[in-house]
Amino acid sequence: MLNRHAREFFTRLFTPLARALLKLGVSPDAVTFAGTAGVSLAALILFPLGQLFWGVVAITLFVFSDVVDGIMARLAGRQGRWGSFLDSTLDRVQDSAIFLGLALWFYSGGRSPETGSLAVVSILLGNLVSYARAKAESLGYTANVGIAERAERLVSVLVVAGLCGLGLPTPFLFWTFVVLALASVVTVIQRILAVRRQAREESSPA
């Protein structure tokens, strides 16, 4: 839902930056790698130190590279399967770093191992959500359905983590992980059912 409604706004916002980077000779792939490095380092350094708010600020600045590189690829006429593969793969790296950084904090200074464990569960379920869609598409089906796609998962966790960094009680993050885990399970089921329906339609006689 967030992907659909935000794409047009951010495309207009970042198109001038994308044009400027292309004029400087920067490639879309370079922006993708830089963004992934920035998000991962911010999450794995600042979150374990308990700097939740500043970690979220740094991650937010870098995470928009995911929008910029796509705009650059379209402007340069370089859209293709390689770019899509690289982008999707490095998205998983970013997501895992964010949840792992939070898990490390709660296992140590955050003193809430149960919240850390839920963060790890969120990594696993988030990757399962993505895998279900990728596998479906590799078989020729579509599975872009569900209530907890990547944007929803990232926004909810980063907003609550940032607020916890400003003083919101950390149990709010615990329950955010609970909701995300449940929503991810529902999303996987929705995608399985969507593919099952398409498979049945495919095998039904015309």
Contacts for 30 with CB less than 8 Å, ≥ 6 apart: none
Query: Which of the following is catalytic: 66, 69, 87, 91?
Result: 91
CA dihedral over 72, 74, 76, 81, signed as positive or negative? positive
Q: What is the pTM of this model?
A: 0.90
Helix, strand or coil, per DSSP, at residue 64: coil
Instruction: Report mean pLDDT in 10-residue bins for the chain, 206 residues.
Output: 64 92 94 96 97 97 90 87 89 95 96 95 93 94 90 92 96 96 95 96 77
- What pLDDT, on the 0 to 100 scale, is given for residue 81? 86
- What pLDDT, on the 0 to 100 scale, is given for residue 84? 85
Tell me the helix, strand and coil percentages in the chain, rounded to 5. Answer: 80, 0, 20
- What pLDDT, on the 0 to 100 scale, is given for residue 1? 43
Whether 91 is catalytic: yes
Question: 13 burial class (0-12, 13-18, 19+ CB within 10 angstroms)?
Answer: middle
**Which secondary-structure segment (H or E) carries 194?**
helix 171-203
Rounded-to-integer distance, Cα 102 and Cα 148, Å: 19
- What pLDDT, on the 0 to 100 scale, is given for residue 140? 94
Q: Which long-range contacts (CB under 8 A, 24 or more apart) does 110-118 make?
A: 110/50, 110/170, 112/170, 112/174, 114/174, 115/170, 115/173, 115/174, 115/177, 118/174, 118/177, 118/178, 118/181
**b/e per residue, 121-143, with b = 16+ CB within 10 A?**
bbbebbeebbebbeebeeeebeb
